[in-house]
Amino acid sequence: RAKSEGRGTYRFFEARMGVEVRERRMLEHDLRHAVARGQMHLVYQPQTDVGSGEVIGFEALLRWKHPERGFVSPAVFIPIAEESDAILRIGEWVLREACREAATWPRPLSIAVNVSAVQIHSPHFVGLVHEVLLRTGLAPHRLEVEVTETALISDPNRALLTLRQLKALGLRIAMDDFGTGYSSLSNLRSFPFDKIKIDQSFVRSVDSNEQTAAIVRSVLGLGRGLGLPVLAEGVETEAELGFLAAEQCHAAQGYLMGRPSPIDRFAQHTHGTAQPGPGERKLA
Ligand code: C2E
Ligand code: MG
Ligand code: MG
Ligand code: MG
């Protein structure tokens, strides 16, 4: 009986897996045309100085509106795009679009762009970034490239060379999702990062959980020791922000200060003009 039950379970999983594989293949196929068909757009999330509350820059986040499925999360489609190499075309579009947009802002705020492992290991990537900076006229120091540790480990020597060449162009490199990858500490020593972004899983309830608080304090100490500014991701409550301020965290990003939104929503920061609408939380 146990055996036949086991087999039934196996068939069930097999069938389910078939659906998942088909689904994935469909998304993979549709992703190839998503940019050309105008289904991709960027939203922007403010990054603020914790001390002053001022907006210091924005992170560009990719959105895909599938014609039948509606919005598909980047957490779902980015890994698929990475496996199929579609990420190269998509990533190039993101870089061009984000730099083009930021270059139009009268205020010289920074623009952070997420870059995947496949891009970092592409032999054309550094040349592409250089060309985009020239073409858009964006001052290189305003561009920040966000990479995760997993983007670096498959070929660390090559990754190091790429990061050095990118820095030679004048831009900055942020380590994204710090604390969730592996051998974080040795990566901090080996790669020329300019900023640490603490993953939101450590920021959530940092004000109420002693262990989380201890971890965040030690990352902030690490940043101080290495001379690297630290940004806390995923700040949702005043209590979390209060903790970060008391511990002298440099910068923060999260729903509390602003959700990823179309850039027009932030015109008062990018252009220093429009007034925030009624009921909106005022950013300094
Ligand atoms: P990430 O780079 O770590 O981006 C932060 C994610 O946290 C974003 O999710 C953002 O919407 C979300 N977030 C920000 N503040 C809060 C908060 O207060 N609470 C909560 N619960 N979430 C918050 P999103 O936009 O769904 O992106 C997910 C991931 O997809 C990104 O993580 C990044 O790894 C990847 N991604 C997004 N856009 C791109 C892109 O253009 N290129 C590449 N290669 N990856 C991208
Ligand atoms: Mg990021
Ligand atoms: Mg992150
Ligand atoms: Mg992430």
In this predicted structure, the answer to whether residue 23 has a pLDDT above a threshold of 50 is: yes
What angle in degrees, to the nearest 10, is found between the helix axes of 125-136 and 86-103?
30
Q: Report the pLDDT value the prediction gives residue 85, as an integer from 0 to 100.
A: 82
pTM for the whole structure: 0.91
- Under a CB-based contact definition with an 8 Å cutoff, are residues 195 and 175 in contact? yes
In this predicted structure, the answer to whether residue 111 has a pLDDT above a threshold of 50 is: yes
ipTM of the complex: 0.98
Share of the chain above pLDDT 70, in %: 89
Distance from Cα 67 to the centre of ligand 2, integer Å? 26
Under the banding of pLDDT at 50, 70 and 90, the label for residue 44 is: very high
* Of 2 and 190, more confident: 190
Distance from Cα 2 to the centre of ligand 4, integer Å? 41
The residue type at 141 = H
Cα separation of 171 and 157, whole Å? 20
Atom of ligand 1 nearest to the CA of 98: 41
Q: Report the pLDDT value the prediction gives residue 1, as an integer from 0 to 100.
A: 45
Distance from Cα 174 to the centre of ligand 2, integer Å? 9
Q: Is 78 in the pocket of ligand 1 (CB under 6 A)?
A: yes
In this predicted structure, the answer to whether residue 281 has a pLDDT above a threshold of 60 is: no
Q: Is 75 in the pocket of ligand 1 (CB under 6 A)?
A: yes
Note residues around ion ligand 3 (Cβ under 5 angstroms): 176-177, 233
Under the banding of pLDDT at 50, 70 and 90, the label for residue 153 is: confident
- Under a CB-based contact definition with an 8 Å cutoff, are residues 245 and 251 in contact? no
User: Any residues with CB less than 8 A from the CB of 172 and at least 6 apart, and which?
Assistant: 110, 141, 143, 144, 145, 194, 195
Q: Report the pLDDT value the prediction gives residue 21, as an integer from 0 to 100.
A: 87
Q: Which of 111-120, 157-166, 238-247, 269-278 has the lowest mean pLDDT?
A: 269-278
Q: Report the pLDDT value the prediction gives residue 279, as an integer from 0 to 100.
A: 46
Atom of ligand 1 nearest to the CA of 256: 18
Atom of ligand 1 nearest to the CA of 62: 38
Under the banding of pLDDT at 50, 70 and 90, the label for residue 34 is: very high
Q: Report the pLDDT value the prediction gives residue 2, as an integer from 0 to 100.
A: 46
Q: Is 74 in the pocket of ligand 1 (CB under 6 A)?
A: yes
